Every structure is written in structure tokens, then in C-alpha cells.
Structure 1
Amino acid sequence: MSSSAPHKHLFYAELAKLVEAGFGVREAGKILQDTRLPVPQQRLLGLMQTGLENGKSIAESFAADPALVSDLECSIIAAGERGGRLAPAFQHLADYFQLLASTRSEAVKSMIYPTVLLHLGVIFGNAPGALMNGESAGSILINIAITLGVIYLIGFMFVMVSLRLLKAATTSAAVDGFINRIPLLGKARRDLALARFTRVYHTCLLAGLPMQETAASSVNASQSGLIREAGQQLAATLKIGDKLGPVFIASPAFPNAFARSYATAEESGMLDKDLARWSDLFQQDALRGAKRVSGAIPKIFYALVVIFVVWKILGFYQGYYRTLETLGE
């Protein structure tokens, strides 16, 4: 049982609003339970109430069902809870899931027309040649269904492979680096990972958590294999008490501008403001990147459909000319 990004956006936005208004988190949970929330959110609130009664934290209560919450959510909630900044923590999550919801919605909308065009291309690519050959309507429909079935199968396999790669990229630096080199998609994905990293880092700093815990939580929330690999060096550096600026600068997981900015902010004691700024920048860049990807997907789809239709038309005319040559003989 999982929850969609739009539902999570509304859930955390309502929690942030109630907590900021002065309601205790238990009271806020009871109020939300009376608003006919989706089942996953109702379960989360039930876990929270039960966990709090048993002396657990909110983050620990939510984490009882990993299918409902991510490392990012647990990290931000835990930091906000320990630092007495629950309302901003919930609002951070609301903003993040609003970003995911809007980008996914745009991607789906951008695929509607190309999908219709694909089906029309298959129909008009198969029907004329079949009619010229005197095939029956039933045979034509079967050929169209087989063609669409092959396309669906290829599409399904592509989606499954893509999902496996994306999952592997959360822990593998090699896979993560490979995906990040894909034009448009790689940049948008990297910006989103950096937005998660800096958002959690900033929240943990404001909460006053130890640097070791701050770095570990941020690395886990990033869902990036490259950042996880860099996190090992961050942890080793913190263990001996050195500053992290040089590690950020030396690591390929972080942009040069961000790494240099972190180093100067670390020296000047302005990390909280600097990370807040970078978190917003990365989130905005991720949104723009997602829009570019959403715009590129239908164009690629159009190109594939056109190639398919042209191929079918050429095949039709080749068969037509062969028929004429046969008749001429």
C-alpha cells in the first residue's frame, strides 16, 4: 500500500498548517483523521498515534511501515522533531511532493497525444496494404492487435529495465553516474538528488543535530549512488574532526559551484543560509529540468511514430510496385 505524490503533498501541507497554528501533533492528527483522508494517510496517522502512546518519536512511528514513507521523509521529520521545527519540516515535504506531483502530471499529459498518434499510425500503417492484398477485416484487426501487442511488450520491457536502473542508481555510483550522463534526464535527476540532500542537510543543521548524523541522514535521503559514495568520505572526515569543504570540492558527486560555496560558508559560519539558498536553487533547477524532459519525451515519441509510419508506407508501396511488375510480366 503506497501513496501518491499529490496525496502526500496535501497530507504534509495540512499537517504543517495545523502545527504552525499551534496545534499539538496528536491533536493535528485527530483533526486530519476526521477529514476522510486516503487509506495510506489514515494508516500513517494511526501509526503515529500508536507510536506516540508507546513513547516513540513521530519519525520512528512512521518508519514502522517502510512502504508508506521514504528515507527522505523520515530524515526530515526526525530532524524537525528533534529541533522543535516540525511545521517547517512538514512544509519542506509538502513542497517536495508538490514538485514531484507537478512534474509527473506534466509528463503524463505530454504523452497523451503521442500515444493516440501511435495507435493511429499502427492502424493506417497496416490497413491500406492489407486491403490492397485483399485480406479480410478480421485478419487486418488481428495484424493490428499483434503489432500493438509487440509495441506494448517492448514498452513494458523498457519501463521495467528503466525502473531497475533507477532503483540500482540509488546505491550504485556506477549506475548513478551512467544515468546522470543521459541528456536532459540526467541533469534533472541529479538536481533532484541534490535538492533532497541539501534540504535534509539544512533541516538537520537548524535542528542542531550532530554533524555525523546530519551528513548520514542527508546522504541517505539523496537516493543517489554517487552521493552515497561521497558520504563515506564525508563520514571519515568528520570522524577525524576535519572540515568538509575540501571533500565536497574533491568529490565528483557535487557541482563545483556548490562545493566552493559550501567551503566558504563553512569558514564563515553561514552554512544554514547557504544550504537554504542552494536547496531552493536545486529544487527550481529540478523543476525546470523535469519540464524540459516532459517536453522532449513527446518529441522523441513523435519521431518514432513517424519513422514507423514511413516504414509501413514504404513497405506498402514496395508491395504495390511488386504487384505491378508481376502484372506487367
Structure 2
Amino acid sequence: MAFSAAQKHLFYTEIAKLLEAGFGIREAAATMLDHRLPAAQAGLLREMDRDLEAGQSITEAFAKNRNVISDLERSIVGAGERGGRLAPAFQHLADYFGMLATARRDALQAMIYPLVMLHLGLFISYIPQLFSGAKTGVQVLGEFAVTLFIVYAVVFVAWLGVRAVLASGTSNPTVDAMLNRIPLVGSARRYMAMARFTKVYHTCLLAGLSMQETVETSAQASRSGSIIAASHKMQEVLKERGPLGPVFVSSGAFPAAFARSYATAEESGSLDKDFARWSKVFQDDAARSTKTVSSALPKLFYFLILIFMAYKIISFYSESYLGPIRELEEQYNN
């Protein structure tokens, strides 16, 4: 069973807190198990402890279940383990999932009223038939239920389509660039990708991983087709022992300010400090942009529902009051 973003935020916060206090990973797991964790989290920690006892690495043991632990989490934990900086790695994850949890909570809260209005608007569309006596209450309720089923089916199919397009954007740079051009949604998506990229890159730098592995790991964690395509060029430059700054600037996959900052930090040898700053910047930007999206989309949805309801109300009065007048006019003219 997968954890929600809110559950992962609390889970990783507790692990980071215990590791920062000097606990070993197995001691931290044992301490957390003593405090009535949810079943899924407790099962994950027990399985990790068994695998550690069998001689596996922390990354192998912790991220064994890919249905629960994503590639992003595996990358950050792996880099933190190899560099002996597990506490900051888990804190990175706690901050990231805390941002996701807040964005999802805001989006769900903002959608409650528009969804209520949608159901009300659909029901109102059948009121004229009920008042005119064309259909009974049972017939109206039956047709309303069928309409709701159709609406739910259309929304579900649309959701599957959106998921498929978003999934293709993680590997296809053309689709990724197209999605990033969508107003509001595109900027939120870009900032989220950059937040993932910079967090993993920073963790890899602190862990002392090779630049080849750092580039590959952070690009894959970004889940951005454009960044992954740019990372292939970076690997070619690294094979020739060249600097990466020019690739960051020329690839077009990164914000211009960040790309220029990378180039100067690379020259001055301060990439670790630079990425610490940028990872926070992009996380804050991602949080703001997702909050904007979660606020704007329900308002747009609500506006469309109001238009639909206004149309139905006008149609109702037109049929109820103007209809008989038109019939009288036609009879008079004839």
C-alpha cells in the first residue's frame, strides 16, 4: 500500500529527526515502531530491518518495494547513504513531500464548492421538465443518475488521458516542452521538476558521487524529458572532461538565471552552496505555483458551472413564461 504525501512527510520528518540526534537507522526504526506507526509504515521498517540484518545496504533495504518508494526517494536515500549524510537526505524528502501534501490539500479544499455546484447545476437542468409535468419525479431522478454516471465516466477517461500525457512528458522532451507552455500548470510543473533535480543534485554533491552519476541520478529524478535529454549532452561533455556550465546555459532545459548561476558556481568551486540555495528557491517556487494552480483551476471550473446554471435558468423561464406567449402570438397570427 502506497503512502500519501502527508504520511511520507511525517514519516521522513521523524526519521530525519532521529538520525540527526545520533540514532543509527536501525535504532531509529525500532524507536518509531514503538510508537504505533500505521501498518504500512511499520511493515516497511520491519522489512528494512530484516534486510539490513541480512547484509543489504540501507538503500536496497529501504527502497526495495518500488510500489511504495519512488525513484526520487531511492536516489536521495542512496546518495545520502554513500556520503554519510542520511539525516539531510531524509529531511530533503520530508520537505518535498510536505510541499506536495500542502498543495494537494489546498486543491481538494478548493474543489469542494465547485463540485457541489456541479451536481446542483446538473439537477437544475431537469427542473423545467418536472414543473411542466412532462416527466415524473422518479423519471427525473433516474435521468439525473444516468447523467451523473456519464459525467463521472467522462471525467475518469479524461483523467486517464491526462495521466498518460504527463507520463510521456517524463521521457519525451517534445511533450515535456509542450506541457510546460500551458499557463499556470506549465510553470508549476517546471518548478516541481527543478525542485526534484536540485535536491538530488545537491545530495549527490554532498555525498561526493562522480559527476557522471550525479547528472544521471538527478536528471532521472527530475521526471522531465527536457532535463533528461540535456543530461545526455552533459554525459558526452563529461567524457571529454569539459565543464557543464555551457551545456546548462545552451540546452534550454533550465531557467536562464539558474543556468548562469551554475556556470559561475562551477568556475568558483561553490556548487554545493549554490545548489543548497537553488533547491530551496525552487521548492518555494513550486509551492507557490501549485497553490496558484489549486486556487485558479477550481475558480475556472466554478465560473463554467455558473454559466451552465445561468443558461438553464434562462431556458427554464423562457419555456415557462415566454413559451405560452409565443403560442398565443402564433394563434393570433393564424
The question of a shared fold, defined as TM-score above 0.5 by the shorter chain, is answered with yes
Distance 2:263 2:47 in 1: 41
1:36 CA displacement: 2.0
Counterpart in the other structure of 1:91: 91
Q: CA deviation at 1:48?
A: 1.6
Amino acid corresponding to residue 170 of structure 1 in structure 2? T
Is residue 40–residue 68 contact of structure 1 (8 Å, CA) maintained in 2?
A: no
Q: Map 1:151-300 to 2 at 5 A.
A: 151-300=151-300
| 8 Å contact kept, 1:7–1:38 | no
Q: Distance in 1 between matches of 2:3 and 2:299?
A: 30
- Whether the 8 Å contact between 1:177 and 1:226 is mirrored in structure 2 is yes
TM-score, length-normalised on structure 2? 0.94
Quick check: 1:12–1:90 contact (8 Å CA) kept in 2? yes
CA displacement at 1:323 relative to structure 2 = 4.3
Alpha-carbon distance in 1 for matches of 2:55, 2:171? 32
Can you list the C-alpha shifts for 1:160-217, whole angstroms capped at 9, x where unaligned? 1111112221111122111111110110111011011001101110111111111111
- Measure, in 2, the Cα distance between the counterparts of 1:42 and 1:235: 40
Residue type of the partner of 2:310?
A: V
Amino acid in structure 2 at the alignment position of 1:54: A
Alpha-carbon offset, residue 143 of structure 1: 2.4
Number of the residue aligned with 1:326: 327
Quote the sequence identity (%): 53
Q: 1:27-52 deviations in whole A, cap 9, x for unaligned?
A: 11111122222233223212321221
Amino acid at match of 2:38: P
Letter in 2 for 1:263: A
Write the deviation string for residues 236-275 of structure 1: whole angstroms up to 9, x where unpaired. Answer: 1111111100000011110111000000000000101111
Cα distance in 1 for partners of 2:158, 2:280 equals 33
Counterpart CA distance in 1 for 2:243 and 2:84 is 27
Matching residue's letter, 2:109: K
Is the 1:2–1:67 Cα contact (8 Å) retained in structure 2?
yes
Q: CA RMSD for the aligned pairs?
A: 1.5
- In the TM superposition, residue 318 of structure 1 has moved relative to its aligned partner by 4.4
Q: Give TM-score scaled by structure 1 length.
A: 0.96
Asked if 1:308 corresponds to 2:311, the answer is: no
- The code of the aligned residue for 1:256 comes to A
CA distance in structure 2 between the aligned counterparts of 1:308 and 1:170, rounded to whole angstroms: 36
One-letter code of the match for 1:278? Answer: W
Amino acid at match of 1:326: E
How far is 1:151 from its partner?
2.1
Amino acid at match of 1:70: S
Residue aligned with 1:171, SS:
coil
- Note the 1:98-113 alignment, pairs <5 A: 98-113=98-113
Deviation at 1:291, TM superposition (A): 0.9
* Bigger shift: residues 141-150 or 193-202: 141-150
Q: Tell me the equivalent position of 1:62.
A: 62
Deviation at 1:309, TM superposition (A): 1.2
Code of the aligned partner of 1:104: R
Displacement of 1:279 in angstroms is 0.6
Using the alignment, how far apart are the partners of 2:34 and 2:220 within structure 1?
34
Q: Output the CA distance in 1 between the equivalents of 2:59 and 2:40.
A: 16
Q: Take 1:157 and 1:324, find their aligned partners in 2: how far apart are those partners?
A: 44
| Structure 1 range deviating more: 29-38 or 111-120 | 29-38
SS in 2 for 1:253: coil
Quote the offset at 1:296 in angstroms: 0.4
How big is the shift at 1:146?
A: 2.5
- Aligned AA for 1:61? A
For the residue of structure 2 that corresponds to 1:66, the secondary structure is coil
Q: CA deviation at 1:327?
A: 4.8
Give the secondary structure class of the aligned counterpart of 1:182. coil
Q: How does 1:116-127 map to 2 (within 5 A)?
A: 116-127=116-127
Deviation at 1:129, TM superposition (A): 4.0
**Dislocated runs of 4+, deviation >4 Å:** none
Q: Distance in 2 between matches of 1:130 and 1:226?
A: 55
Deviations 1:118-139 (A, max 9, x none): 1111222321343124421111
**Secondary structure at the residue paired with 1:119?**
helix
1:146 is matched with 146
Any unmatched runs of 5+ in structure 1? Answer: none
SS in 2 for 1:84: coil
Describe the SS at the equivalent of 2:23. coil
Return 55-64 or 11-20, whichever deviates more. Answer: 55-64
Contact in 2 for aligned 1:205/1:214 (Cα 8 Å): yes
- Partners of 1:231 and 1:185 lie apart in 2 by 24
Cα distance in 2 between the residues matched to 1:236 and 1:27: 43
Supply the AA of the counterpart residue of 1:313: I
- 61-70 vs 254-263, which moves further: 61-70
